[in-house]
Structure 1
């Protein structure tokens, strides 16, 4: 039986983990610790503080702020 592919932001998670060397759970912990609650501010923080690309930063921020919206 085939496993369903992740949808939405979660589809970026394997490449995020491979490129930046941290698990997505580590990124979610870091975003929570940063205390940033707005999407745009989280994206900018990931881009400036962690040199993350825009697409990857957006995927993490979207999922972090709306974890129940997409299945992993």
Structure 2
């Protein structure tokens, strides 16, 4: 989106930040409305510029900072995260790891897994299947809502056993 700013709006992101820096606008909705009304930007570009200006999107942060922040008060879960990411990367060269503020999305052509430190002692991994019924450790999506169809609760690295790896591998295959 940033690459398209100059050709579509006439300004780079840095130029838009300078323009916004000259206003007294601070709220996201105010900035978006102002960019749309005063500069005739589409909602998508106005939203993108506002998020970047306010450094309110995950992409405004370093990936390692996002991960560190997620596990700052839950250090016992970090080894589970590391093991899950390592396994997901082993599935193929097309695996993309995309940290957000509170989760990490694992994608191929689409998201197939979502890693979230749920509590201080439990990690949830959400999986997206086309047509699979919850069974055993494969629970309904719960707090993941429509982002995933199922979830698995993990409390230690040894929980990532052959059964869990098979489910993650199946979700990966369906995402391709």
Fold match (TM-score > 0.5): yes
- The residue correspondences of 1:10-49 to structure 2 (distance < 5 A) are 12-49=1-38
Whole-angstrom distance in 1 between the partners of 2:5 and 2:38 = 15
Structure 1, unmatched stretches of 5+, are 1-11
Cα distance, 1:71 vs structure 2: 5.2
Structure 2, unmatched stretches of 5+, are 62-176
Runs of 4+ displaced beyond 3 Å? none
Asked which structure has the greater RCO (Cα within 8 Å, sep 6+), the reply is 1
Structure whose residues are more often strand by fraction: 2
Higher deviation after alignment, 43-52 or 18-27? 18-27
Superposition RMSD on alpha carbons, in Å? 1.9
State the TM-score, normalized to the length of structure 2. 0.32
State the TM-score, normalized to the length of structure 1. 0.75
Computing the radius of gyration over CA atoms, which structure comes out larger, 1 or 2? 2
Structure whose residues are more often helix by fraction: 1
